[in-house]
Amino acid sequence: MDKRLLTIQDISCVGQCSLTVALPVISACGIETAILPSSVLSNHTAGFSAWTFRDLTDEMPNILDRWKKENVDFDAFYTGYVSKAQIPHILDIMNQVARPGALRIVDPVMGDNGKLYAGFDDDFPMEMRKLVNGADIILPNMTEAALLLGIPYLAGIYTQEYIEKVLKDLYALGAKNVVLTGVSFEKGKLGVACYDGSKFDYYFTEHLDVAMHGTGDVYSSSFAGALMRGKSIIEAASIAADFVCESIRQTLPDADHWYGVKFEKALPYLINRLS
């Protein structure tokens, strides 16, 4: 039986982020991809003057009930941007429509550059811990790691000792594997650090010194797709990092493309790496 993944996060009708990234990227990896939108926006919230928003929390139990009646189930779950009220519903979904051994991949989307995203209360990181606890893999950036742990955010170049302490503390929250993004030990290099409770793995790429919307979603989606294709965690983490860099490079020549990265043009690169 082919593998089927369910991704739960918001969808912006315009703007390359969240489900408009996850669905095509994971599908390109050869994995059947089902979606559960947590909310619908006319466009994402970075750079646009305004947007429409419709919360879909109330639909989650109805959808789950329908799936159970239709005997729909999944080999993996991948969560992104969700609200506090949706976390109990998501845990319910993961418990009730999982195939044996189903993976839980949690991107604890909460913030960046040291700040919690607008719209989240200060207690949201403690709620996100409920998704982290029991997850097979979590994919926080450095801001989200600090928020989950309740520690000050530190920007810049880190010591290996500091990163490994953060990884151990995140692991202690109940995740089976931690993939920490935004790690840098030297100028000009940016990468990921992985920890499975016993060993640390690292992978670094060239640091492309630009800020582009949606790169975290591109990373997590390609990681999930590569993992479902049988890659190890460090292999999936490395492929995803390189795919993000390639997506950025495809976007750089177009100064008018400010609302995301042209990941579509980098999909042949991803497919080639997977094969």
Query: According to the model, what pLDDT value does residue 47 have?
Result: 85
Closest CA to 247 of 224, 221, 265, 220: 265
Q: Give the strand pairing for 74-79 and 111-112.
A: unpaired
Q: What is the pLDDT of residues 21-74, one digit of tens each?
A: 999 999 999 999 999 999 999 989 888 999 899 999 999 999 999 999 999 999
Query: According to the model, what pLDDT value does residue 13 have?
Result: 95
Count CB neighbours of 147 within 10 A: 25
pTM for this predicted structure: 0.97
Tokens of 180: 């920490």
Q: What's the number of CA atoms in the CB half-sphere (13 Å) around residue 53?
A: 10
CA distance to 43, 81, 92, 250, per residue, from 236 (Å) = 29, 21, 27, 21
* 7 neighbors 26 (Cβ within 8 angstroms): yes
* 178 neighbors 222 (Cβ within 8 angstroms): no
CA distance to 13, 38, 95, 217, per residue, from 18 (Å) = 10, 10, 23, 6
The least confident of 40-49, 162-171, 180-189, 257-266 is 40-49
Q: To which CATH superfamily is domain 4-268 assigned? A: Ribokinase (3.40.1190.20)
Residue 1 has pLDDT above 90, yes or no: no
Long-range contacts of 159-166 (CB under 8 A, 24+ apart): 159/185, 160/185, 163/193, 164/193, 164/195, 164/200
Which residues 6+ apart lie within 8 Å of 222 measured at CB?
Answer: 25, 29, 236, 239, 240, 243, 244, 270
Domain spans of the chain, in order of start: 4-268
Sheet holding 189-195, edge to edge: 53-55, 32-43, 4-14, 74-79, 98-106, 137-138, 178-183, 189-195, 200-206
Q: What is the pLDDT of residues 208-241, one digit of tens each?
A: 888 888 999 999 999 999 999 999 999 999 999 9
Q: What is the pLDDT of residues 72-85, one digit of tens each?
A: 999 999 999 999 99
Mean pLDDT of 233-254: 97
Q: What is the pLDDT of residues 118-168, one digit of tens each?
A: 889 999 999 999 999 999 999 999 999 999 999 999 998 999 999 999 999
Residue 92 has pLDDT above 90, yes or no: yes
- 64 sits in the region (left: phi over 0; alpha: psi -120 to 50; else beta) called alpha
Q: How far apart are CA 180 and CA 163, in angstroms?
A: 9
Query: According to the model, what pLDDT value does residue 187 have?
Result: 93
Query: According to the model, what pLDDT value does residue 249 have?
Result: 97
Q: How far apart are CA 194 and CA 220, in angstroms?
A: 14
Query: According to the model, what pLDDT value does residue 35 have?
Result: 98
Q: Greatest CA separation found in the chain?
A: 54
Name beta bridge partners: 183.
Answer: 191
Which residue intervals of the chain are DSSP H helices?
19-28, 60-69, 87-96, 124-132, 142-149, 160-171, 215-228, 233-251, 263-274
Rounded to the nearest angstrom, the gap between the alpha carbon of residue 86 and the centroid of all alpha carbons in its chain is 17
